[in-house]
C-alpha cells in the first residue's frame, strides 16, 4: 500500500545511461512506476545503434555472435527476472521482465529464452550488426590472434585480458537504479557481456545478487566491469546486506571494493558499482580511479555526472 505519492523521483545510472535516464525520468514525472521506468531506460539503451555494449549492436563473443544478458528487480516485492546468452532478440530487459511476470522462474538461458521471446511476441533480428562483425574482425587483427583450430579456450585470455591494451578492455553494460514518486525502487541491468568471451560465458549482469539487487527497505545496487569478480563475492547483494547490518552507503561500498581487491583481479579486470538508498542518497564506486556515474533527480533539469569513489588506502 502506498501512503506517500510526493517523493522526489531519482535515477542513478552507469555513465552510458544518459538517454535512458532522460526517458525514464519523463515517465516518472508522468506518474510511471520504478519498474516501468527502469525497463524503459534499459530499452532505450538497448535500441541505441551507437551503444556497443548493450543490445543489438553489442560486443560479440569469440565466434562473432552477440549474446545478451539482462536482469530486473522489483524492490517492493523482491521479484526478479533475468535472461542469459540470448541471441537474435535485442530487448532482453523486456524479456527478463516477462520471465518475472509470466513464468514461475527467475532466470532463462539460451535456446529456452529465445523460444520464450517468440512466445511473448518479440521479433527476431540479426544481432551480428555490421559494427559488431567489424569490431570482431579488427580485434583479431590488432592482437595478431588467428581464429584457427578447435580450442577456443586458448584465445579467451589473450583477447579479453590484453595487458598492452588495458584502456581498451572490451567491457560495457548499462545499470539503472530507480526510485519513483511512491518511494518504490527498481533496478535494471542489460549487457552484451564481456567482449570476445567464450561462447556461453555469462557474467554478473543477469545474476541476481551479483550484478543487480534491489530492496525497498535498504536500497538498490548494480555493477559493471569484470562480472567474474562480482559473481565470486556477490557484490550487489553484499552491499545491500552491509547497509542492512548498519553500515552507511560509503562504508558498505568500500567494503565491497575491498572484497573485490582481495580476489587478486587479473590484469585488466576491474569493477564499478552504483548504489542508492531508499531516501535517495547515491554513490558510485570503482576499483579504477577516474570513473564516473550518472545521477538525475526529479528537480534537476538534466542528468549530471558524479565521481566514483575508489578504495581507501589501508
Taking the complex as a whole, the smallest distance from the CB of residue 178 to ligand ASP amounts, in Å, to 19
Retrieve residue 177's grid coordinates: 537504479
Taking the complex as a whole, the smallest distance from the CB of residue 272 to ligand ASP amounts, in Å, to 7
Residue 270 three-state SS: coil
Q: Hey, which residues between 169 and 228 contact ligand ASP (CB under 6 A)?
A: 171-173, 191, 193-194, 203-205, 211, 224-227
Site track for ligand ASP across 226-255, x = CB under 6 A: xx----------------------------
Q: How many beta carbons lie within 10 A of that of residue 126, not counting itself?
A: 12
Q: Is residue 139 a contact residue for ligand ASP (CB under 6 A)?
A: no
Taking the complex as a whole, the smallest distance from the CB of residue 191 to ligand ASP amounts, in Å, to 5
Retrieve residue 33's grid coordinates: 512506476
Taking the complex as a whole, the smallest distance from the CB of residue 211 to ligand ASP amounts, in Å, to 6
Give me the count of residues in the chain: 314
Q: How many beta carbons lie within 10 A of that of residue 182, not counting itself?
A: 18
Active-site annotation holds for 297 = no
| Residue 197 or 282 having the CB closest to ligand ASP | 197
Retrieve residue 216's grid coordinates: 525497498
Q: Hey, which residues between 29 and 88 contact ligand ASP (CB under 6 A)?
A: none
| Residue 24 or 203 having the CB closest to ligand ASP | 203
Sign of CA pseudo-dihedral 90, 36, 301, 184: negative
Containing H/E element for 238? Answer: helix 235-244
Query: How far apart (Å, rounded) are the C-alpha atoms in residues 233 and 224?
Result: 14
Catalytic-labelled residue, pool 45, 77, 143, 173: 173
Taking the complex as a whole, the smallest distance from the CB of residue 260 to ligand ASP amounts, in Å, to 12
Retrieve residue 93's grid coordinates: 530487459
Reference 191, options 17, 4, 10; nearest CA is: 17
| Residue 224 or 238 having the CB closest to ligand ASP | 224
Residues in contact with ligand ASP, counted by CB under 6 A, come to a total of 14
C-alpha separations of 217 from 53, 83, 299 in Å? 31, 26, 23
Q: What are phi and psi of 226, to 5 degrees?
A: -75, 95
Residues tagged active-site: 173
The residues that touch ligand ASP, with contacts defined as CB under 6 A, are 171-173, 191, 193-194, 203-205, 211, 224-227
Amino acid at each position: 500500500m502506498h501512503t506517500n505519492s510526493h517523493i522526489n523521483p531519482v535515477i542513478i545510472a552507469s555513465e552510458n545511461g544518459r538517454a535512458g535516464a532522460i526517458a525514464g525520468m519523463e515517465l516518472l514525472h508522468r506518474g510511471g512506476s520504478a519498474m516501468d521506468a527502469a525497463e524503459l531506460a534499459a530499452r532505450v539503451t538497448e535500441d541505441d545503434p551507437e551503444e556497443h555494449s548493450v543490445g543489438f549492436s553489442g560486443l560479440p563473443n569469440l565466434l562473432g555472435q552477440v549474446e545478451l544478458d539482462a536482469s530486473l528487480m522489483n524492490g517492493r516485492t523482491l521479484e526478479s527476472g533475468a535472461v542469459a546468452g540470448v541471441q537474435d532478440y535485442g530487448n532482453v530487459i523486456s524479456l527478463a521482465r516477462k520471465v518475472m511476470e509470466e513464468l514461475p522462474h527467475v532466470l532463462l538461458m539460451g535456446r529456452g529464452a529465445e523460444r520464450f521471446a517468440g512466445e511473448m511476441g518479440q521479433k527476431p533480428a540479426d544481432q551480428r550488426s555490421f559494427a559488431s562483425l567489424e569490431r570482431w574482425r579488427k580485434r583479431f587483427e590488432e592482437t595478431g590472434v588467428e581464429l584457427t583450430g578447435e580450442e577456443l579456450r586458448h584465445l579467451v585470455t589473450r583477447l579479453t585480458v590484453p595487458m598492452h591494451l588495458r584502456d581498451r578492455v572490451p567491457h560495457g553494460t548499462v545499470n539503472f537504479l530507480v526510485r519513483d514518486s511512491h518511494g518504490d525502487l527498481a533496478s535494471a541491468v542489460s549487457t552484451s557481456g564481456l567482449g570476445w568471451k567464450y561462447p556461453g560465458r555469462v557474467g554478473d549482469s543477469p545474476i541476481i545478487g551479483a550484478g543487480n539487487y534491489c530492496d525497498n527497505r535498504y536500497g538498490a545496487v548494480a555493477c559493471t566491469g569484470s562480472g567474474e569478480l562480482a559473481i565470486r563475492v556477490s557484490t550487489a547483494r553484499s552491499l545491500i546486506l552491509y547497509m542492512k547490518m548498519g553500515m552507511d552507503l560509503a562504508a558498505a561500498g568500500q567494503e565491497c571494493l575491498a572484497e573485490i581487491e582481495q580476489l587478486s583481479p587479473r590484469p585488466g579486470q576491474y569493477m564499478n558499482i552504483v548504489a542508492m538508498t531508499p531516501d535517495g542518497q547515491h554513490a558510485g564506486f570503482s576499483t579504477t580511479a577516474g570513473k564516473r556515474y550518472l545521477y538525475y533527480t526529479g528537480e534537476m533539469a538534466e542528468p549530471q555526472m558524479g565521481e566514483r569513489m575508489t578504495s581507501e588506502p589501508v
